């Protein structure tokens, strides 16, 4: 999961902070639901 977080951080650096945050929240929710 650490690698995924790093990838999301890179997306935030690109300038899509809001979208990245929404995606990250969705991914975390999905991961919690699946796991």
Separation between Cα atoms, residue 8 and residue 21, nearest integer Å:
8
Torsion sign, CA atoms 10, 11, 15, 17: negative
pLDDT of residue 19: 80
Phi/psi at 23 (5° precision):
-65, -45
Q: What is the pTM of this model?
A: 0.40
Report CA Rg, the chain: 10
Say how far apart CA 4 and CA 8 lie, in whole Å: 6
pLDDT in tens, 11-33: 556 666 788 788 889 988 888 77
Instruction: Give the integer Cα–Cα distance in Å for 1 and 16.
Output: 20
């Amino acid at each position: 999961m650490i690698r995924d977080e790093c990838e999301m951080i890179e997306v935030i650096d690109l300038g899509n902070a809001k979208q990245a945050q929404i995606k990250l929240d969705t991914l975390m929710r999905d991961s919690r639901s699946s796991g």
